[in-house]
Amino acid sequence: MAAEPAMEAQSHQLTKTSVIPKAKNKIRTTTGEKIFNICNITLLLLLCLVTLYPFWYVLVLSFNVGIDAAKGPIWFWPRDFTWDNYNYVFHNPMIKSAFFVTIGRAILGSLFSICVMLLAAFALSKRFLPGRRMILYFLMIPMFISGSLISNYVVMVKLGLLNNFLVYIIPGAFSFFFMIIIRTFIEQIPEGVEESAMIDGAGFYQIFIKIIVPLCKPILAAMLFFSIVGHWLDFGTNLLYVNEEKLYVLQYVLYLVVIANKGSDMINLMQFSGTVPTVKDAVPTPEVLKMSTLMVVTLPLLFVYPFFQRFFIKGMMVGAIKA
């Protein structure tokens, strides 16, 4: 019995001596590495500043009184803050109409494009499809040999798409490059999934709706984002095939605002339905109106990306593993 306390004391002493001190996981860096990190961080911060400052400058100038902005450069903050510039822009009936046309084009055109490319990708992912290789070659040709501007215009005239809202939807509905990415994503889905569905009695239509579409959400979200951006930024279609004001898109209105160099041209372009009240009782100058219009046209895209962010990176990485 007397030996038990001695054994406990000995085991307790061994426990104390066996405790290993925690090693610090600090990585030692040399002087050269520290200098490199400082230079690297400084260079990246300068790159971010050079990239972001033009947007900040446009935003600052759009919130400044036009007459005050004409007195001298504005760098970091509005000298004379005002909302009147945006008041003028939003009271422009051309901006209002173009905004709804652009939103309708971006939503309807992107959804229609995704449907067309997904159907084509699903069909061309089947190796037993008759003439599959020939169809792929046929669809690949326009990537390298496209029609001329005159031939495209003649086709639009024959199809009755001049001054037609469908000219924004139909011609650009199919992209061979995006279709190949979607097809690659579909081919990575195990064949056993479709085979088990067929054993249970599912047809191609049910497989497409209940299996392919849900599994392709990441790549479809990525392609949908690219399609929305393409529709939103396109003004060439409006420039070539549309001359009715009610079908103008925002990018074309911005183009008209930018090329309006004289104040009289800007006033004619801003065909207001009535007098817009201002705090300063001064009409905004053409320069600040350009900046305000630019912000109205550009900012909506910045609010679209967060909705696709969780799908975007995954969809692009998985769909780009192989071609």
Residue 152 CA to its chain's centroid (Å): 27
Is the pLDDT at 277 greater than 50? The verdict is no
Split at pLDDT 50, 70, 90, the class of 267 is low
Can you give the pLDDT at residue 312?
Answer: 61
Quote the tokens at residue 150: 């005159």
Average pLDDT, stretch 239-259? 86
Q: Is the dihedral of CA 139, 143, 146, 152 positive or negative?
A: positive
The CATH number given to 86-319 is 1.10.3720.10
The 10 Å CB-count burial string (b at 16+, else e) for 132-147 is eeeeeeeeeeeeeeee
Can you give the pLDDT at residue 274?
Answer: 46
Is the pLDDT at 200 greater than 50? The verdict is yes
Higher pLDDT, 78 or 249: 249
Angle at alpha carbon of residue 215, lines to 214 and 217, rounded to 5°: 70
Higher pLDDT, 307 or 202: 202
Cα–Cα distance, 72 to 81 (Å, whole number): 15
- pLDDT over 90, % of the chain: 13
Higher pLDDT, 171 or 8: 171
Cα–Cα distance, 269 to 248 (Å, whole number): 13
What confidence tens digit (pLDDT) does each residue in 77-101 have? 888 788 888 888 887 788 888 889 9
Is the pLDDT at 198 greater than 90? The verdict is no
SS3 81: strand
What confidence tens digit (pLDDT) does each residue in 126-185 have? 888 888 889 888 888 888 887 778 888 888 899 888 889 999 999 888 989 899 989 988
Contact between residue 193 and residue 207 where contact means Cβ atoms under 8 Å apart: no
Is the pLDDT at 30 greater than 50? The verdict is yes
Nearest to 101 by CA among 247, 252, 271: 247
Cα–Cα distance, 189 to 208 (Å, whole number): 12
Can you give the pLDDT at residue 9?
Answer: 52
Would the pTM count as exceeding 0.85? no
Average pLDDT, the chain: 79
Cα–Cα distance, 163 to 114 (Å, whole number): 24
SS3 64: strand
- pLDDT over 70, % of the chain: 79
Can you give the pLDDT at residue 322?
Answer: 46
List 64's β-bridge partners, or say none: 81
Nearest to 314 by CA among 177, 227, 186, 222: 222
SS3 248: coil
CA distances from 300 to 99, 103, 111, 291, 296 (A): 10, 10, 18, 15, 7
Split at pLDDT 50, 70, 90, the class of 241 is very high
Is the pLDDT at 317 greater than 70? The verdict is no
CA torsion, points 113, 114, 116, 117, in degrees to nearest 10?
110
Lowest mean pLDDT among 165-174, 208-217, 270-279: 270-279
Can you give the pLDDT at residue 168?
Answer: 92
Higher pLDDT, 207 or 3: 207
